[in-house]
Amino acid sequence: MLVFGLASKVQAQSPGSVIGTTFDTETNQPLGFATVFIAQTTFGTTATENGAFKLNALPAGKHELVVSFLGYETVSYAFTLQPGQELRVKVGLTPKANALQEVVITKDPHWRENYAMFVKHFIGQSALATQTRILNPEALYFEYTPATNVLTAEASEALIIENKELGYKLHFLLKDFTADFKKNQIFHAGYPRFEPMVSKSAAQQKRWQKARLKAYHGSLMHFVRALHSKTLEQEGFSVRRLQRLPNPNRLPEDQIQAGLKRWRLIGGPLVVRSTNHGAAQDSLSYWYQQSRLSKIIAVLHKDPVPYENMVQREEGSNLLKLQFQDHLQVVYTGEKEELAFLAAQPFAPKRTPSFQTSILSLLEPFTYLEPNGMVLNPYSYLVEGYWGWEKLAEMLPLDYEPEKKESSL
């Protein structure tokens, strides 16, 4: 529960702030030492003993305020901050229903293998991922359903994740993690808070800045910011329309299955009977070859997609409305693929690293993009290819600015 008070005078072009208190909704007493932060940023603090908190130097724009405390339901609220605005709030947290009940945890015999799968699809398999570790893995518990081949994960507390290469410690409140291996789709959502690590030397700080810049280049955040500034080509992005159409050379699935079933009933060895047109039209080998054909073929359009066919400026705001036909193939020419990316595709033909190529699809008619590089609704889109391979180890805070980082070197 959030209660908003009146904002103070707005001072143009100056940073804003959020000032407030936290309290227990059942006792109406102050709730001290709650964690308060702006999701996916480095802006965060801990409430005082009497529940008071203040977040300073916040940039104007849309933000998501997150307040959490162990044993209480997490509260989040999206708001828009004007330049120089001082927003005052009261945040009420409700105890979880089972917080005071005895919890009996049954030892999971498959915990280690489920955890390894979770790390692979949550942290990633990149060079950065090898230097990223979860410090409190015991907070995780899993559920795997063999019938659907789906793995889900929950956490009893915020995951503490140390990324030694980027110089961040993440506090990640896991909201959802679902790995659907049948559909080959991985989805996770939550509230990450970035805590910059303290460097031991100027050389280490320089390495972190270099690694952050490399992680930023070609990322979805970089792409969204380039869309906002209309600098896709200058930033190294090439965007083309991708269609996925039914394969005209593949028969309908019911015909293929009927053909396979008929020949299985006949039994006997697999015999390839040749005709002038290849395998016999009603041989077991013919139906087997049909079943091996891809159901979908990809058709890539030659010309780049114009900006007006991808985004429209939302009137009266800094938001962009992302809406396009079919799918977008996004190629980043500034960097090549990691060797680990190629190694993660064991059945693909062997090749040398090429430019980073990703596929962006919308799961809803449209979605909104923030100037800071955020897609407002994480459930509204799907990424494949290189963006799909990069995971939490490559994530940067939304207040990351490469120009400022570079100038400080």
Is there a single domain that holds both residue 53 and residue 69?
A: yes
Span 103-130, pLDDT tens digits: 445 678 999 999 999 999 999 999 999 9
pLDDT in the model for residue 106: 60
Quick one: 240 and 312 in the same domain?
yes
Q: Do 266 and 370 have their domain in common?
A: no
Q: Give the pLDDT confidence score for residue 101 in this predicted structure.
A: 45
* Structural domain span for residue 8: 2-93
- Give the ranges where 247-330 is alpha helix by DSSP (H): 253-266, 284-292
If asked whether residues 11 and 62 sit together in one domain, one would say yes
- Looking at 59, 93, 127, the residue that finishes a domain is 93
Q: Are residues 356 and 239 in the same domain?
A: yes
End-to-end CA distance of the chain: 43
Residue 9 lies in a domain: yes
Are residue 335 and residue 226 in the same domain, yes or no? yes
Residues pairing with 246 in the sheet: 296
Tell how strand 86-93 and strand 16-24 pair up. parallel
CB-facing half-sphere around the CA of 230: CA atoms within 13 A: 7
Instruction: Report the CATH number at residue 89.
Output: 2.60.40.1120
Cα distances from 13 to residues 84, 87, 167, in angstroms, run: 7, 16, 30
Three-state secondary structure call for residue 404: helix
Domain annotation covers residue 288: yes
In a domain, 276, yes or no: yes
Separation CA 369–CA 377 (nearest Å): 9
394 in a structural domain: no
Say yes or no: 226 and 89 in one domain: no
Q: Quick one: pLDDT at residue 341?
A: 96
Residue where one domain finishes, among candidates 293, 325, 348: 293
**Inside any domain, residue 345:** yes
- CA dihedral (163, 168, 173, 174) in degrees, to 10, reads -30
Show which of 266, 293, 320 is a domain's final residue.
293
Cβ(346)–Cβ(340) below 8 Å = no
What confidence score (pLDDT) does residue 280 get? 63
Q: Are residues 315 and 354 in the same domain?
A: yes
Residue 30 lies in a domain: yes
312 and 359 housed in the same domain: yes
Give every residue of the chain whose pLDDT is below 70, as ranges. 1-13, 98-106, 267-281, 403-409
Q: What is the 3-state secondary structure (H, E, C) of 112-158?
A: HHHHHHHHHHHCCCCCCHHHEEECCHHHEEEEEECCCCEEEEEECCC
Co-location of 228 and 320 in the same domain: yes
C-alpha 294/C-alpha 239 separation (Å) is: 25
Distance separating alpha carbons of residues 307 and 311, to the nearest angstrom: 6
* Beta-sheet strands, E only, within 214-362: 237-246, 274-275, 278-279, 296-304, 311-313, 320-322, 327-336, 355-362
- What pLDDT is attached to residue 380? 96
Residues 307, 335: one domain?
yes
Tokens of 220: 């979805």
Per the CB < 8 A criterion, the answer to whether 296 and 281 are in contact is: no
Judgement on whether residues 334 and 232 belong to the same structural domain of the protein: yes
397 in any annotated domain: no
Q: For residues 6 and 298, give the distance between their C-alpha atoms in angstroms, rounded to a whole number.
A: 54
Q: How many structural domains comprise the chain?
A: 3
Output the pLDDT for position 100. Answer: 41
Q: Which pLDDT tens digit goes with each residue over 213-269?
A: 999 999 999 999 999 999 999 999 999 999 999 999 999 999 999 988 887 777 655
**Stated length of the chain:** 409
Q: Which of 396, 392, 357, 393 is nearest to 374 (CA)?
A: 396
CA neighbours within 13 Å on the CB side: how many for 89? Answer: 26
Which pair of structure tokens corresponds to residue 12? 């143009």
Q: Answer yes or no: is 110 within a domain.
A: no
Q: Which residues pair with 161 in a beta bridge?
A: 134, 170
